[in-house]
Amino acid sequence: MKITSTPNGPNRVDPDEPVTLSAGEKEKTLASPFYLCRCGLSKNKPLCDGSHLAGKFEAPPSEIRPRNQ
């Protein structure tokens, strides 16, 4: 799995295998790249809904790697 923080936007997750997200009682399985909110403004958490654009969220890009890679 690779996680990349996009400039001024969400964390892009590129899973190696399907990932199941839980939010309250809802579950969603995602297999292709998806975007996790890191601005706190999304109305569809944990996923990004584009609200960071209106909120003028600012954060630098970065990459998160597991220790064994």
Rounded distance between C-alpha atoms, residue 51 and residue 45, angstroms? 11
Binding site for ligand FES (CB under 6 A): 9-10, 37-39, 41-42, 48-52
Nearest to 47 by CA among 38, 58, 56, 35: 35
Closest CB to ligand FES among 8 and 15?
8
23's CB contacts (< 8 A; 6+ apart) are 45, 46
Closest CB to ligand FES among 26 and 56?
56
- In angstroms, what is the minimal distance from the CB of 25 to ligand FES? 22
Closest CB to ligand FES among 13 and 39?
39
